[in-house]
Amino acid sequence: MGVAYVSPWKVPAGQNVQQNIEELHNSIEQLGAIKTGLFTVECESYHAVNVANSKTLHLIHSTEYPASRFACFEDGPSIVSDVMLPSFLSKLRSVWQPRKGGRIESKGHRYELGDFVLKTGIISMGPSTKGISLEVEYTPCVYPCDCWGIITELLKGFVGENMATNMPTLILEKSKEIYTPDITMQQYVELFSNMRKSNYTPIVCVK
Amino acid sequence: IMVDAADYQPLSGDAPVIANMQEFFLQGSVLDTCVDKIHERLQGLCDNVSPEAFTDHERTYVMRNTTSNMPITVKACQSLVDKSAVPWQIKYMGNTDVGDRTKSAMIRSSVSVAVSKDPSEFLEDLGFVLQFEVILKGYFYRKGRLKITVAKLSGSIDPNKHEAGNMSHLIEVSALASPLDESAGDEVRIFSQFLRPIVFLDKVDVRRLQ
């Protein structure tokens, strides 16, 4: 467990998600990374019925942390819990209910490259594909401020020199504190929210 | 390299077996003067492990909802004995079903979740309002799936002051089981009878007390 950075992967015009993720896999494998399995990050969003402008509660599960559940409010407190949280929330179903179409997930491959763990996932909402996510985790270090340089350096290796190198606000706020996995999950939530908002032309996933 | 598929569906297919458990329980209280007798008897009756001392800070939150006039009750619990080793817990407490004469024990549904930090802010964002808080200090025994607590309740949350106040201990015998498992209720009742005549544990209809 170290510091992780989650970013969207832009699909160039004229290419579909499937072709693009294969290209991404190729460039990761060319760096010498080894495939070590699959991963899924799932996010289910809840809202309070009968409450005007209700806050949204996100419940996240990642196969990387199979015994934990992550819950966070949009720009609010986040909490890590054990696997009982979904059944706890189902007891509150007279107030808190899953949002329609509020389920979004990123599913894909997990790679290891020395001290790095890379995860490339296809983000999908129901049957429609929204885009690609890329997570880079540097495992030996827990302080973001100390390893941001090496993370961006690795990314430049296959993104190219023109990638943005600013720390995302979520990490920047706590860059001198010990990094915890719930920050990774908040990055996924932020990414998922952006994917929902942006006018991505949904591509029907061919399975 | 062979790649194993992630063969479970988190959030949906992976619900633990204990997801829909009910708590069968009986309660009673004894005067402080009799509490030593209770401890002696429990040590004889329960599994042969030394009783566990606990001091818990328990906050009770409620949320009113529009669809039912019964509020939703949740407890947030923190152990004051070893704050760093034991995580905070949030516990959903269903409405107590006293049942008729044929039922051995009171039943309520219960879901406990261990959480990483003080859940107050999280619960407030969910819409819960703090109702009251208490300190429970006492001992915890077990016998098979039965859980027996003997604890002193104190409304003062200053741990140094809570010796004062009421003069009795609360005793609760409970078991978690599937709602269809009537035998759990019988087990609770039979065990409670062993504590007679020091204490009579019985079903209490809280609604009638109010």
Q: Is residue A93 helix, strand or coil?
A: coil
Smallest Cβ–Cβ distance between B115 and the set A51, A79, A91 belongs to A79
CA distance A165 to A70: 27
Interface of A with B in 101-140 (CB under 8 A): 109
pLDDT of res. A162: 61
pLDDT of res. A58: 93
Residue A158: partners with Cβ closer than 8 Å, 6 or more residues away: A24, A27, A28, A31
Contact assignment for A44 to B11 by CB distance below 8 Å: yes
**What are the CA-CA distances from residue B1 to residues A18, A37, A171, B112, B133 (Å)?**
22, 9, 34, 40, 56
Residue B117: partners with Cβ closer than 8 Å, 6 or more residues away: A79, A80, B88
pLDDT of res. A142: 92
Residue A164 near chain B (CB below 8 Å):
no
The token duo for B144 is 């098979």
The CATH number given to B20-200 is 2.40.320.10
pLDDT in tens, A14-44: 778 888 888 889 888 988 999 999 999 999 9
- Determine the residue among A29, A84, A177 to mutate to test chain B binding: the one whose Cβ has the most chain B Cβ atoms within 10 Å: A84
What residue ranges of chain B have pLDDT lower than 50? 6-15
CA distance B159 to B78: 13
- Determine the residue among B20, B88, B95, B122 to mutate to test chain A binding: the one whose Cβ has the most chain A Cβ atoms within 10 Å: B122
B63 and B126 Cβ atoms separated by less than 8 Å: yes
Contact assignment for B14 to A83 by CB distance below 8 Å: yes
Count of CB atoms situated within 10 Å of the CB of B57: 17
**Residues of chain B neighbouring A109 (CB-CB closer than 8 A):** 3
Contact assignment for A81 to B5 by CB distance below 8 Å: no
Three state DSSP letters for B128-172: CEEEEEEEEEEEEEEECCEEEEEEEEECCCCCCCCCCCCCEEEEE
Residue A86 near chain B (CB below 8 Å):
yes
pLDDT of res. B11: 45
Please write down the long-range contacts of B101-105, taking CB distance under 8 Å and 24 or more positions apart.
B103/B185, B103/B203, B104/B24, B104/B182, B104/B185, B104/B186, B104/B188, B104/B189, B105/B24, B105/B25, B105/B26, B105/B184, B105/B185, B105/B188, B105/B189, B105/B203
Residue A172 near chain B (CB below 8 Å):
no
The token duo for B151 is 């604890």
Domain coordinates of chain A in residue numbers? 3-200
pLDDT of res. A110: 94
Nearest CA in chain A to B89: A81
CATH fold for the domain made of A3-200: Hypothetical Protein Pfu-838710-001 (2.40.320)
pLDDT of res. B129: 93
CA atoms within 13 A on the CB side of B193: 7
Domain coordinates of chain B in residue numbers? 20-200
CA distance B74 to B187: 26
CB burial of residue B181 (10 Å; 0-12, 13-18, 19+): middle
Q: B36: closest CA among B194, B169, B148, B174?
A: B169
Query: CA A72, A53, B124, B98 torsion: positive or negative?
Result: negative
Q: How many CB pairs (< 8 A) connect A and B?
A: 98
pLDDT of res. B171: 93
**Residues of chain A neighbouring B65 (CB-CB closer than 8 A):** 50, 94-95
B16 and B104 Cβ atoms separated by less than 8 Å: no
CA B85 to chain CA centroid, nearest Å: 20
Largest Cα separation within chain B, whole Å, is 69
What residue ranges of chain A have pLDDT lower than 50? 201-207
pLDDT of res. A101: 81
Residue with tokens 């201990």, as numbered in its chain: B169
pLDDT of res. A201: 46
